[in-house]
Amino acid sequence: MSIPEWLRRALLLALMLYAASVQAGELRVGVLTMQPGEVFFERFGHNAIIVQDTGSGETVSYNFGYFDPDEPGFVGNFARGRMMYYLVALPLQQDLSYYRSVGRGVDVQWLDLEPARAQALAASLAERSRPENARYRYDYFTSNCSTQVRDALDAAMDGALKRQLSGRSRGITYRSESVRLASPSPWMWIGFDLGLSGYADRPLSRWDDAFIPMRLAESLDEAKNADGQPLVAAREQLLPQRLPPEPPAQARRWWPWLLAGLAIACGLLLLRHRPRLVAALALALWLLCGIGGALLAWLWGFSAHQAAWANQNLLLLNPLCLLLLPGGIGALAGRSPGKMFRWLLAIVAALSVLAWLLHWLPTYPQLNQAWIGLLSPIHIALSMIWSRRQANN
């Protein structure tokens, strides 16, 4: 979300004056959890910390999810993984107005914190929300709106939250959560699944899986405060969810993708006597693989998106496929593509087989067997078709 700079500064000034006026009052701290929305950057849900003055009832929402799309270089920084986000403080009802308008549900977990800890947390958030302190380097997995909420709570609890969550795991991964929550948008989950490397496949601790706001809320329900009592004293629904609920977790099966890949490969082999048709189909595949592979290579070599580095899908979405396009166009026109074309086809097929081998090596774990099963048989079949045509010629 974005907010005009002049309005943000005015709100921050008013809130800082308000915080100073109630500094001696009793404060109540809660964590808002917003359910997923329909816009692509809202699929993962959202959260914020609220601080309420129990005397006046006035409530400030500290929201780490703001960015400025008009900032110079925003698009380039977004592509390179160098995004800057903001902590913005604003009245709770103003923060809720957007979620109410789009039908996203919002719950609050009221925390049982000692008054001194609640006061320290409120003071820290007020200081961090000052314009000169509000910016932070954003990362989808390790430094987002939810991990910032988690870290602020942990600091207020002197590290007790991290100690409770670090040694436990649900077995979920960055990939499993990303694909699950993006699943309503096919282009989005396919992009995540192809774009994430083995970095995204390690099982996460409860501390790490708090990058998802709903997961953090679940962990807070089980956490304890300094007195050994439940950290969450009460839970309250502020807005009902009018959109579909978040997608459930589902087991990932790779064998249907392998069957699809084998079926397509067999179909291409049956069409080997119609080289122009095969060339037309292959050109579409090589164009997609080449562009996709070039993007994966760029993310690895020229961006800060660590979760995309050393992606073994480069062996399947191979940038070498772009070099096959001239030969494919020649084959479409009825000309012989040439020896170099056949060598490139063999290399692309061999590298796709290497993806299988790397997958089974414990040193290089990446859960991409579905894409291997789909694409490797197709690359092999295309190499076989032109190798046989050369032999027949």
13 has pLDDT over 60: no
Contact 312, 318 (CB under 8 A): no
* Residue 5 pLDDT class (50, 70, 90 cuts): low
Provide the 3-class DSSP secondary structure of residue 84.
Answer: strand
Q: Where are the domains of the chain?
A: 5-169+205-239, 255-392
pLDDT in tens, 132-170: 999 999 999 999 999 999 999 999 999 999 999 998 899
7 has pLDDT over 70: no
- Pick 98 or 56 by higher pLDDT: 98
Distance CA 227, CA 53 (A): 23
pLDDT in tens, 80-132: 999 999 999 999 999 999 999 999 999 999 999 999 999 999 999 999 999 99
Per the confidence metrics, is the pTM higher than 0.85?
yes
Distance CA 131, CA 8 (A): 9
Separation in Å, CA 202 to CA 207, 366, 370:
14, 9, 18
pLDDT in tens, 339-367: 999 999 999 999 999 999 998 887 768 99
CA proximity to 108, closest of 162, 37, 165, 52: 52
Contact 256, 374 (CB under 8 A): no
- CA angle at 236 for the pair 232 and 238, rounded to the nearest 5°: 135
